[in-house]
Structure 1
Amino acid sequence: MARPRKPLLSRDRIVDAASALVDAEGLDAVSTRRLAAELGVSGPSLYNHFRNKDEILDAVADAVSAQIDLSMFDEHDGRDWRTALHDWAASYRAALADHPHIVPVLAQGPGRRPAGLRVADAVFGAMVRAGWPPAQATYIGALMRYFITGSALGSFARGFVDDAAAYDPADYPHLGQAHLLADHQEQVDEGAFETGLRALLDGLTMQYETGVRGKWETQSS
Structure 2
Amino acid sequence: MARPRKPLLSRALIVDTACALVDAEGLAALSTRRLAAELGVSGPSLYNHFRTKDQILEAVADSVSARVDLSMFEDGRDWRTALHDWAVSYRAALTEHPNVVPLLAHGPGRRPSALRLADAVFGAMVDAGWPAAQATSIGALMRYFVMGSALGSFAGGFVDDETAYDPADYPHLGQAHLLAERQQKIDERAFETGLTALLDGLTRQYEDMTSRAV
TM above 0.5, yes or no, is: yes
1:191 aligns with 2:189: yes
**Does 2:95 match 1:93?**
no
Identity rate of aligned residues, in percent?
79
C-alpha distance in 2 between matches for 1:44 and 1:146: 38
Secondary structure, counterpart of 1:164 in structure 2: coil
Distance 1:127 1:110 in 2: 18
Q: CA deviation at 1:47?
A: 2.1
Question: Could you report, residue by residue, the CA deviation over 1:93-133 in whole angstroms, capped at 9, with x for unpaired residues?
Answer: 11112112111111111111000000000000000000000
Which one-letter code corresponds to 1:19 in the other structure?
A: C
The amino acid of 1:122's aligned partner reads A
1:78 to 76, 83, 89: 76
Pairing 1:55-70 to 2, within 5 Å after superposition: 55-70=55-70
Normalising to structure 1: TM-score of the pair? 0.92
**Aligned counterparts of 1:166 and 1:44: Cα–Cα separation in 2:** 51
How far, CA to CA, are the matches of 1:13 and 1:126 in structure 2? Answer: 34
Counterparts of 1:175 and 1:55, CA distance in 2 = 46
Tell me whether 1:126 sits opposite 2:124 in the alignment.
Answer: yes
Matched AA of 1:54: D
Moved over 6 A (4+): none
CA distance in 2, matches of 1:89, 1:35: 32
Match of 1:28 in 2: 28
Q: Which amino acid aligns with 2:204?
A: M
Q: Write the deviation string for residues 189-220 of structure 1: whole angstroms up to 9, x where unpaired.
A: 00000000000000000100001x12431xxx
User: What is the root-mean-square deviation of aligned Cα atoms in Å?
Assistant: 1.5
Deviation at 1:6, TM superposition (A): 7.2
Alpha-carbon distance between aligned partners in 2 of 1:14 and 1:136, rounded to the nearest angstrom? 39
1:214 to 204, 211, 214: 211
Structure 1 unmatched runs, 5+: none
CA deviation string 1:32-89 (max 9, x = no partner) = 0011112222212222322322221111110010010000111xx1210000000000
CA deviation after TM superposition for structure 1 residue 140, in Å:
0.3
Mapped to 1, the partners of 2:162 and 2:83 lie a distance apart of 39
Distance in 2, matches of 1:30 and 1:215, equals 53
Gaps of 5+ in 2: none
In structure 1, distance between residues paired with 2:103 and 2:8: 28
